[in-house]
Amino acid sequence: MEYFSLNYNAKDVSFLEAVRKGLAPDRGLYFPKNIPKLEESFIKNLKKFSNHEIAYEVIKPYVGSDIDDNNLKKIIQETLNFDFPIVKITDKIAVIELFHGPSLAFKDVGARFMARCLSHDNFIKKGKNLTVLVATSGDTGGAVADGFFKVKGIDVIILYPKGKVSDIQERQLTTLGENITALEVNGSFDDCQDMVKTAFVDQELKDKIYLTSANSINIGRWLAQMFYYFIAYKNRPNPEKKLLISVPSGNFGNICAGILAQQMGLPINHFIASTNINDTIPEYLKSGDYFPKKSIQTISNAMDVGNPSNFIRIQRIFNNDFFKLKKLLSGYSFSDKMTEKAIKEIYKIKGYVSEPHGAIGFLGLKEFFNSKEEIDEYQGIFLETAHPVKFKSTVEGIIKTDIKTPKSIQKILDLKKNSFSISKYSELKSLLLSN
Ligand SMILES: *Cc1c(COP(=O)(O)O)cnc(C)c1O
């Protein structure tokens, strides 16, 4: 498979080259030249295949000959080495838990897959070092740190805003060491992201070191997220009904992967983009006008995005046809107050403990059901994208019950934090050059 830039001003590249570059030289996102179709019999018989076998069939055409079959199978085994259970909340609504990975965030799958693919890149095998640079407002950093830990030939530098990530999240970034360096930035998440963006266009830096990104603009992270949708389809309750999936969305990488899976032939009837008050896409779906906004802080902070970078990929999937897109995708936005109420409501129904992002996914399904008459035709699934312990104080305050800390997290809470403090870009640059 070859990938082209959505700015249409860069040469096509292979899978591994796209992963290594992150963004195309013209600053465009990479997109596959065609969307492969899966055999109908494969989809019909999905239940007969293991998650590993499914993931292999799905991702193989995107990887092409860049990684040989045996290695690709190994990468998939190491990527999907935990469960994705589905829990029924009501007759019509179920949740798929994507947070059983090592950093307790759904981003683990994409980060693990990307890291392992890169370790097969000839560029790195030949002894060149690649630096992965990421800014995090919380969850991305932990997943990337864990996913790339001890991967040979790759150094990871994570920038996070001082005092603005939770204790658990900070320890996930700062306690690993080895090839993972954490930089505590005196500033906001936007300041961190600005520094990263400056580094990517700094010619002097680019002449000396090889830099790539590890957020969902990178196809290595983005494409692997398709796996969730196949697993959700395979294990869905009420298989006789039309499947509706609600995705708590920020940068729209995850939902875009779901739509790609659907385009490959997975029978998902409808998608719901559920957002917090950062409602650029729900507003777009109402009016057809795309107005990016400055992001607003909420309790579902991993979705505080005012200009979702992956939306351009969704538009491309539908050849920029607004009406085609609207047929498959609905969007609703919810305030913090509504989110808190939903966490309480979900807890009351089944004693199920959700967290702000998943709760917004739940609200999206309810809103869709409220707007339709033939709701009995549908089975809704929302994605639970993080473990509630990551939002411990918020969730415990709402449900008035303690959340148990998983053993894996308990361990890191005792480890010593290790990070460098920086305030401006020049400090980041000298650190990158001295590495
Ligand atoms: C990153 C993240 C999201 C949003 O995913 P996108 O792909 O950016 O839309 C939702 N929930 C949690 C917990 C996240 O960490």
Per-residue pLDDT of the chain (435 residues; tens, 9 = 90+): 999 999 999 999 999 999 999 989 898 999 999 999 999 999 999 999 999 999 999 999 999 999 999 999 999 999 999 999 999 999 999 999 999 999 999 999 999 999 999 988 877 778 788 999 999 987 899 999 999 999 989 999 999 999 888 888 899 999 999 999 999 999 888 889 889 989 988 999 988 999 999 988 899 999 999 999 999 999 999 999 999 999 999 999 999 999 999 999 999 999 999 999 999 999 999 999 999 988 888 999 899 988 899 999 999 999 999 999 999 999 999 999 999 999 999 999 989 999 999 999 999 999 999 998 888 899 999 999 999 999 999 999 999 999 998 888 888 888 999 999 999 999 999 999 987
How remote is the CA of residue 120 from the centroid of ligand 1, in Å?
Answer: 27
- Ligand 1 site, residue 193, Cβ cutoff 6 A: no
Cβ neighbours for 265, distance < 8 A, ≥ 6 positions apart? 37, 38, 40, 43
- What is the CATH code for 83-104+222-405? 3.40.50.1100
Distance between CA atoms of 386 and 101, rounded to whole angstroms? Answer: 10
* DSSP-assigned beta bridge partners for residue 243: 379
- Ligand 1 site, residue 216, Cβ cutoff 6 A: yes
How remote is the CA of residue 26 from the centroid of ligand 1, in Å?
Answer: 26
> Which of 15, 33, 132, 135 is CA-nearest to residue 75?
15
How remote is the CA of residue 309 from the centroid of ligand 1, in Å?
Answer: 12
Tell me what pLDDT residue 41 has.
97
* DSSP-assigned beta bridge partners for residue 379: 243
Tell me what pLDDT residue 333 has.
98
Of 97, 99, 139, 299, best ligand 1 pocket probe by most atoms within 8 Å of the beta carbon: 139
> Which of 107, 338, 141, 315 is CA-nearest to residue 221?
107
Tokens of 109: 């799958």
- Ligand 1 site, residue 156, Cβ cutoff 6 A: no
Task: Tell the residue number behind the tokens 């969704």, with chain if given.
Answer: 314
How remote is the CA of residue 334 from the centroid of ligand 1, in Å?
Answer: 15
Tell me what pLDDT residue 353 has.
97
Cβ neighbours for 415, distance < 8 A, ≥ 6 positions apart? 171, 175
Please identify, by atom number, the ligand 1 atom nearest to the C-alpha of residue 225: 7
- Ligand 1 site, residue 385, Cβ cutoff 6 A: yes
- Going by CA atoms, what residue is nearest to atom 14 of ligand 1? 302
Q: Give the type of residue at 155.
A: D
- Ligand 1 site, residue 107, Cβ cutoff 6 A: yes
Residue 66: enclosing H or E segment and its boundaries?
A: none
Tell me what pLDDT residue 295 has.
85
365 contacts 329 by C-beta, under 8 angstroms:
no
Cβ neighbours for 341, distance < 8 A, ≥ 6 positions apart? none
- Ligand 1 site, residue 144, Cβ cutoff 6 A: no
- Ligand 1 site, residue 249, Cβ cutoff 6 A: yes
- List Cα–Cα distances, 301 to 317, 333, 355, in angstroms: 27, 14, 11
Of 385, 389, 391, 392, best ligand 1 pocket probe by most atoms within 8 Å of the beta carbon: 385
Burial string for 61-82 (b: 16+ CB within 10 Å, else e) reads bbbeebbeeeebbebbeebbee
How remote is the CA of residue 182 from the centroid of ligand 1, in Å?
Answer: 21
Q: Which residues form the catalytic set?
A: 107
Count other Cβ atoms within 10 Å, centred on residue 41: 7
The ranges assigned to domains in the chain are 83-104+222-405
Residue count (the chain): 435
Sheet of strand 154-161: strand arrangement: 210-212, 130-135, 154-161, 180-185, 420-422
